[in-house]
């Protein structure tokens, strides 16, 4: 059978040509928002998929409207855009982790749309260092002697080990061989850096004597990795950082720490008390510590390395330091975020991550009631429920924060996954919690200035 016959028999005639599709109104409207060539490519892809479906007998007719709507959806769903987080996970890695305050983003916009003194010393008129201001902020806030900022914490750990432990042994507890989402694994980073990892202890128990017994003439450091995204509970024992530092320094070794989530201090908030803090690490005498900028620190994606001058100098000279250095967008955001920390207790209101973490249940309930009132007729399907938010982003994995959930009961015959998809594809997208019988929206992570939009989205979808 030749191709032509095949086409007419299986309905290929029903598919309009690519050019005719590209001239349809629904498609030409997209040219304002998306590159024409990209639209064309997506149209081709969609038509190709439809051809296949016809061939396989899944479909026998194709409507122009269907092509337009699939192309639109594909394009709309693929580009980066803001979203409403109804999941209750404050540092949601898939939804962008920490959000920045408007104070921070307005600085970014202002500086990025102009030239700047990124690497220019305004006092001398000579070449300057991009990180000198951020380094002075970090020293003041944390008490560390010196610092360096890179692209993310994975890069920070790699740089720290490459610069300070290549060809040497680093001793780590078997209870701390962490894997972070996106394939960051302590043993693999260690081997990539050229350091040899010496594992000691067991999964649940590691004692100071285990570290001490493993020290050889080739040991250069003891390393502590914060088990940020899991907890080993029950019959457990670990070594406090302070004891590790005392042991290491007795043997003239260094202590490295991958602190992961990067909480500056606990602010007397009970929830945060079980999370190790940057300030405590420095106080304990750690030689080098690294953490993420966009977890509990509440800043942009970056990796921050703090520690003693002698080690930081080596880190800054390593070739990877240049390859991994922080970009200017993150640097501006980090400077502005760190400045917020200097305003004292008000930091809990000004820094979105800490603000969301400490929102009171009574206030969430009040917001929920106002939202329900505004919904109108479809209110019957909605109710407020008590539940728990989580910190997420590999921080405080066992902590649950009481919250208020907006619960949407399903209509008979309605699938929760369809409802969830409708919300995901609303403008802006709303991501919530899917349960068997209902769809839930945690109001803690819905920003208060998004309530209006939430009402609009709910009205349309219900």
Ligand X SMILES: *Cc1c(COP(=O)(O)O)cnc(C)c1O
Which residues would be at the binding site for ligand X (CB under 6 A)? 152-154, 178, 180, 184, 225-226, 228, 258, 260-261, 292, 303, 394
Name which of 206 and 407 has its Cβ closer to ligand X: 206
Give the residue nearest to ligand X (CB).
260
Name which of 131 and 153 has its Cβ closer to ligand X: 153
Task: Measure the CA–CA gap between 394 and 391, rounded to whole angstroms.
Answer: 8
Q: How far is the CB of 299 from ligand X (least distance, A)?
A: 11
Q: How far is the CB of 151 from ligand X (least distance, A)?
A: 8
Q: How far is the CB of 345 from ligand X (least distance, A)?
A: 27
* φ/ψ (deg, to 5) at 295: -105, -125
User: Starting at the edge strand that comes first in sequence, how are the strands of the sheet with 196-200 ordered?
Assistant: 146-150, 303-307, 288-292, 254-260, 219-225, 169-173, 196-200
* φ/ψ (deg, to 5) at 250: -65, -30
Mention every residue, 6+ apart, whose C-beta is less than 8 A from residue 144: 138, 282, 289, 306, 307
Name which of 50 and 302 has its Cβ closer to ligand X: 302
Q: How far is the CB of 87 from ligand X (least distance, A)?
A: 18
- Greatest alpha-carbon pair distance for the chain in Å reads 85
* Contact between residue 285 and residue 245 where contact means Cβ atoms under 8 Å apart: yes
By C-alpha distance, which of 224, 237, 218, 212 is closest to 177?
Answer: 224
Name which of 184 and 423 has its Cβ closer to ligand X: 184
Give the SS3 label for residue 445: coil
Name which of 88 and 394 has its Cβ closer to ligand X: 394
By C-alpha distance, which of 270, 275, 448 is closest to 371?
Answer: 448
Name which of 371 and 396 has its Cβ closer to ligand X: 396
By C-alpha distance, which of 195, 205, 209 is closest to 164?
Answer: 195
Q: How far is the CB of 187 from ligand X (least distance, A)?
A: 13
Q: How far is the CB of 260 from ligand X (least distance, A)?
A: 2
Name which of 151 and 219 has its Cβ closer to ligand X: 151
Q: How far is the CB of 293 from ligand X (least distance, A)?
A: 7
The pairing of beta strand 303-307 with beta strand 382-389: unpaired
């Amino acid at each position: 059978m030749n191709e032509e016959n095949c086409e007419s028999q299986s309905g290929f005639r029903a598919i309009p040509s690519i050019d005719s599709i590209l001239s349809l109104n629904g498609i030409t409207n997209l040219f304002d928002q998306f590159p024409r060539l990209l639209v064309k490519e997506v149209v081709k892809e969609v038509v190709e998929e439809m051809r296949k479906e016809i061939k396989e007998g899944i479909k026998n007719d194709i409507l122009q409207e269907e092509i337009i709507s699939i192309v639109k959806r594909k394009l709309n769903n693929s580009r980066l855009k803001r979203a409403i987080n109804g999941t209750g996970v404050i540092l949601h890695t898939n939804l962008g982790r920490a959000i920045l305050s408007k104070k921070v983003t307005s600085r970014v916009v202002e500086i990025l749309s102009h030239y700047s003194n990124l690497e220019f010393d305004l006092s001398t008129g000579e070449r300057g260092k991009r990180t000198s201001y951020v380094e002075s902020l970090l020293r003041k806030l944390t008490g560390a002697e010196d610092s360096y900022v890179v692209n993310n914490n994975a890069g920070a750990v790699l740089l720290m080990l490459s610069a300070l432990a290549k060809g040497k042994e680093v001793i780590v507890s078997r209870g701390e061989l962490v894997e972070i989402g996106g394939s960051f694994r302590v043993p693999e980073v260690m081997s990539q850096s050229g350091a040899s990892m010496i594992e000691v202890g067991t999964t649940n128990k590691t004692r100071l004597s285990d570290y001490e017994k493993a020290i050889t003439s080739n040991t250069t450091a003891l390393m502590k990795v914060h088990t940020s995204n899991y907890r080993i509970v029950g019959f457990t024992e670990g070594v406090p950082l302070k004891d590790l530092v005392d042991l290491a320094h007795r043997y003239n070794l260094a202590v490295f720490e991958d602190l992961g989530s990067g909480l500056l201090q606990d602010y007397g908030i009970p929830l945060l008390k079980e999370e190790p803090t940057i300030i405590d690490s420095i106080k304990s005498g750690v030689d080098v510590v690294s953490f993420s900028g966009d977890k509990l620190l509440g800043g942009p994606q970056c990796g921050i390395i703090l520690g003693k001058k002698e080690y930081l100098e080596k880190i800054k000279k390593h070739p990877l330091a240049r390859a991994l250095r922080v970009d200017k967008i993150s640097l501006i955001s980090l400077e502005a975020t760190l400045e917020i920390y200097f305003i004292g207790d008000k930091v809990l209101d000004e820094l979105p991550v800490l603000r969301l973490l400490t929102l009171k249940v009574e206030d969430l309930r009040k917001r929920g009631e106002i939202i329900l009132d505004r919904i109108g007729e479809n209110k019957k399907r909605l109710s407020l429920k008590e539940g728990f938010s989580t910190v997420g982003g590999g921080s405080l994995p066992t902590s649950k924060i009481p919250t208020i959930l907006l619960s949407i009961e399903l209509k008979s015959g309605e699938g929760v996954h369809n409802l969830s998809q409708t919300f995901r594809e609303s403008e802006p997208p709303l991501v919530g919690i899917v349960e068997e019988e209902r769809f839930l929206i945690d109001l803690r992570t819905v920003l208060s200035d998004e309530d209006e939009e939430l009402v609009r989205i709910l009205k349309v979808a219900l």
